[in-house]
Structures are given as structure tokens and as C-alpha cells.
Structure 1
């Protein structure tokens, strides 16, 4: 793993210990609903992915939950009958998935690794990849799209969430005070800040060209898109949507 990934791996382990929002596993009730066919998942903070972005039935569908530990998307999809592998950089996030799977009797695999390197998987292994907002934690996003395309079968689907880079224009401390003050440029790198704080994630604001054209350059056709925010929790939510979700289909030309 790169130094950035090692740092973020430890930071996410700490987030699990602290019980932050994106490390909190789903409930037994959610699993029971999924088993009966009533389910949704999110790849951004607030909105749920449209049901028609998924196959009508997920039974037997091979799903990779990419950078998706935390006991959230993976267990829901496993409860629908999908063959799920959860891949994440954080051991403790993966343990959340394992704990839910054990408690609920779900067949679910976990693999620890860096999202830019999926060499543990053979070409054209999966039918579907679910990739929640996570590529903010890597320096270069294009390898993620290339690896996703490699491990997806032809006409397989990639559902991903990512940040609109406009979020990273503003001073975070000022925003907490209700003020939007431009302080950075895009692309944004936390490594350019004065200090790296142990236990806090390093984040990167990628250009929309790398996020969108990066997918098409990797062999995807973007078939769906929507925007989202933090549900009104942040000052910027009142001005612009800062998250994007896409549905992309791999097509061999």
C-alpha cells in the first residue's frame, strides 16, 4: 500500500472505534426487509440509488463492494441473494461486514486492499460493482476506473458515488462557522497542507474530467447520473450539490 493508503487505513480504523456515521452497520430489520425484497442502498450521503439501476433480481449476481466496508451496502446485497465480496483498506471496517454476516447468517467475503489495485481478482469476475464515495481518499482516481473495468464482465455495471470537487475550494474551518471562503484550487490535495494529522483522513478533490471522462476512457458508457449532498448538514448544501452518483456500463468495442 502507498503511504497515503496506510495513513487512511489507520484513520478509518479509528473512525470505527469512534463510531462515526459511515462505520455504523445496518440493523437486523434492514436485513429482514432485504430478504423479503424490500431494500435500498446509498453510494452518497443522503439519497438512495434508484432501484432500476440494479438488475430485477440479484440472486446469484456477483457483486464487488469496492472501498465499501462498514457493514452497510455489502450485507444488504448479500441478503438479496447476491454473491458479495467487500473490498476495503480498513481492517476494522471489514470486520463490521463480517460481524453482520455472522449475526445474520449471510454468505459474504471480505478482502483488504487498495482500491487502485484489484490484482487479487481475475479479469471479468464480477457482474456489478458498488463503489460509494471513497475515491476522495486516493491521489489518482483513474486507476480505480481501469481496474473496475478489468474485473467487470462485459455489459457489467459500475455504480459509484464521488465528490463534486467544488467542495474542496473552501476553507473547512470557515465553513463550520457558516462562511464559504475560497482557499484552495482544484485538483485539491491534503498533502499540500502544512501538516498531516494522525487519525484524520487525507482527502483529494479530483477534477470532474478525471471522474467522468476517466470512466469513459476506461471503457464505460455512463447511463445514469444524479446529485446529492450531506442532507443540509453543511453550509455548502444550501448552495450546491457536492456529491455525484453515476451508473456506468462496461462495453467492449
Structure 2
């Protein structure tokens, strides 16, 4: 049973997916080499042949396609039917298979314990208010020694984007605390695959501070194996552009974690 936040975000993501937001566009030009880069840019994974992988709140036909090409048995859980259809479309394109499940990342009770070798979570944790709920669910379905890759918004800059350029920098003005981001235009503006600009209501978002993330992972039984900041912009780009902003501030962070022994 979805709660009010999940129902609201489900509707928003359905609209975003149907409007062609980039996260809903399947990766249809992968080979084994590029697939590996998509799901393991940090080089943390070995052979994936026969591994049971859960792409958590990661519909859209992107990571699922890459893992399947690398020989994994892939399950995708996502709130949104259109996102899951993209995964099925990608699997059909490559002649691979994928299991799609519609549901909330905070409830993995449909899966048996120790079901997965890897849980791969894209930038979705910030759409739920309590990170610890997700970590507890992930720990319940990962096998001992299994890997959890978590990417999320950098909490230090969450709510500060390229349009906040003031001539000198990108000022921080929000309180640094866990909680919902309020007081800004909730719409996402983007170009669809045909280049047409779209403006769609975005989902509710929540900041999780770095201490909440680290302590929550440790408390759920994970050992943090690596941490990365994704700052891959161009410092020479025009100030106020996404390329310049992402050179000055890392918008995303990534954890690789290993589940402790039972």
C-alpha cells in the first residue's frame, strides 16, 4: 500500500517518463564495454555472469540493460509503470530478459532474504523522507558479502543549481538539515528526445545529510568500501551553465558498500 508521498511521486514520475525525461530513455546502443562503464565506473565489480542484481527505484531501461548484457539476472523495482515498460523495451531490443516489479523502495518484503548479490540504486533516495528505511530494506535482501551501490544528491548543495549563479558563485542559503526541500519552483524543465522543451511537475525531494547517510548505512550493517563525488563539468564553461556549475560543485555522490557477514 503506497503512502501519500509515494502516490504523489508516482504520478509525477509517470508524467516525467511520458514527457521523455532523460532518465526514462533506454540505453539502446550499449555493448559489453560501454555497459560496464555505465554500471561500474568505479571498477568495483568483477564478473557479473549469473549474479542476481536488483536495480532499485531505477526503472527506465538503462542500468537493467547494462547488467543484462553483462550476464546478470536482473530485477527492476520502480514506482512507475512507464519506467518499467522502458526496461522491458530495452530487454526486447537486446534479446535479454528482465523481471520488472512495481513497488516502493521502502518495502522489499516481496523478495526473500538474501535474494541478491548486488543492489544498484540510482539517484532515487532523495524522493523518500527517511533514508534509513531504505537501507534496512536493502540489507534484508542482500546476501552476506553482497554489494550496494548508492548514488544520491550531494546534501551540501541540494537545492542549489546552475540558475543560482550571482556573478561570483553559487551561494548556499538553505539550512543544512534533513528534510523536505520547500520554497522553490517544483517543475522540471528539460528537452525531450526530439529536442522539444518540456516543463513538468517534479516529485517531492528530501535532503539526507552526510552524517545521516553514513551512519544509516553503518547502522544497517554495511561496510563502506568507497565514496566518490561526481564533479565532471568544465570550469571554462559559461558561468551559470550546468557545465560550469558541475565543475564548481559536485551535484552527486556515490557509495559502494558491502553487506556484513550474517
Give the drift of 1:229.
Answer: 3.6
Answer yes or no: is the 8 Å Cα contact 1:132–1:160 preserved in 2: yes
Corresponding position of 1:240:
249
Q: Are residues 154 and 235 of structure 1, via their aligned partners in 2, closer, same or farther at CA, if it must alter by over 3 Å?
A: same
How far is the alpha carbon of 1:9 from its aligned partner?
Answer: 1.1
Any residues of structure 2 matched to 1:19-168 within 5 Å, and which? 19-27=20-28, 29-30=29-30, 33-34=31-32, 39-42=35-38, 49-51=41-43, 53-55=44-46, 57-168=47-158
How many pairs does the alignment contain? 241
What RMSD over aligned residues (CA atoms) do the two structures have, in Å?
2.4
The Cα shift of 1:188 comes to 5.1
Tell me the alpha carbon deviations over residues 36-87 of structure 1, each in whole angstroms, 9 at most, x when there is no partner.
x5532547xxxx6223x112x2111000001110100001111111100011
What is the SS of the residue equivalent to 2:84? Answer: helix
TM-score by length of 2: 0.83
Partner of 2:227: 225
Q: TM-score by structure 1 length?
A: 0.86
Q: Helix, strand or coil: the match of 1:40?
A: helix
**Are the aligned partners of 1:175 and 1:181 in contact in 2 as well (CA < 8 Å)?**
yes
CA 1:174–1:76 in structure 2 vs 1: closer, same or farther (change >3 Å)? Answer: closer
* Structure with greater helix share of residues: 1
Q: What stretches of structure 1 of length at least 5 have no aligned partner?
A: none
The answer as to whether partners of 1:88 and 1:113 remain within 8 angstroms in 2 is yes
1:49/1:245 CA distance change after superposition, 3 Å: same
Q: Structure 2 unaligned segments of length 5 or more: list them.
A: 188-199, 235-241
Deviating beyond 3 angstroms after TM superposition, the runs of 4 or more aligned structure 1 residues are 176-179, 188-198, 229-232
User: Corresponding residue for 1:175?
Assistant: 164
SS, match of residue 15 in structure 1: helix
Contact 1:227 1:244 in 2 (8 A): yes
Q: Bigger CA drift: 96-105 or 227-236? A: 227-236
1:189 is displaced (CA, Å) by 3.7
Change (3 A) 1:157 1:194: closer
Pair 1:206-2:208 in alignment? yes
**Structure 1 counterpart SS, 2:158:** helix
